[in-house]
Amino acid sequence: MAPEHPPIQPGDHKGYLEYALSLAERSPPKPTNFRVGALVVDANTNTILATGFTLELEGNTHAEQCCFIKLANEHGVAEDELGSVLPSNSVLYTTMEPCNKRLSGNLPCTDRILRLGGSIKTVYVGVLEPEKFIGENRGRKRLEEAGIEVELVEGLQERILEVATAGHQD
């Protein structure tokens, strides 16, 4: 179950991203990753199903990955079977565009979303991934090609990037 959070009205995409940003702030600042926060929400009931932030769980975990691991554990399924138990109108809020490549060798978040079999219909992002670590991120393009909407929510970019890059060397 997701932790307590301020009430967020259905369709308040900025409100959900502000909550995700508060989670990102809990991620330890490091020079080798972005601090990201994410939420999986049942859009039909306006219920937060899972939250996550970078390095919340053991290993080199990304925010979206943490959400999916928690949901898989909660439902007693493997992460790649999560699509069978998620509500059909689930959406993902993430402060930064899901990664398409992982330098660590972990499965990229874009692949994790795609293997949910369309359970996640829309991904709301606060910023596109800066090209600092892997160059151009094709995550958004791959998601859209698979029929998943990717919506850039305006208004938090500066704060998100400030949190995301804390601990980076220029």
Judged against a pLDDT cut of 60, whether residue 2 lies above it is answered with no
* Backbone CA torsion sign across 44, 49, 54, 58: negative
CATH no. for 17-150:
3.40.140.10
Q: Which of 64, 97, 145, 162 is catalytic?
A: 64
Cα 110 from Cα 143, distance rounded (Å): 7
Going by C-alpha positions, the residue among 150, 121, 167, 155 that lies closest to residue 18 is 155
Q: In the chain, pLDDT over 90 holds for what percent of residues?
A: 72
Cα 52 from Cα 44, distance rounded (Å): 21
Going by pLDDT thresholds of 50, 70 and 90, the confidence category of residue 1 is: very low
Mean residue pLDDT of the chain comes to 90
Judged against a pLDDT cut of 90, whether residue 154 lies above it is answered with yes
Going by pLDDT thresholds of 50, 70 and 90, the confidence category of residue 31 is: confident
Kindly list the domain boundaries of the chain, sorted by start residue: 17-150
**Is 64 tagged catalytic?**
yes
Cα 28 from Cα 20, distance rounded (Å): 15
**pTM, rounded to two decimals:** 0.92
Cα 90 from Cα 73, distance rounded (Å): 17
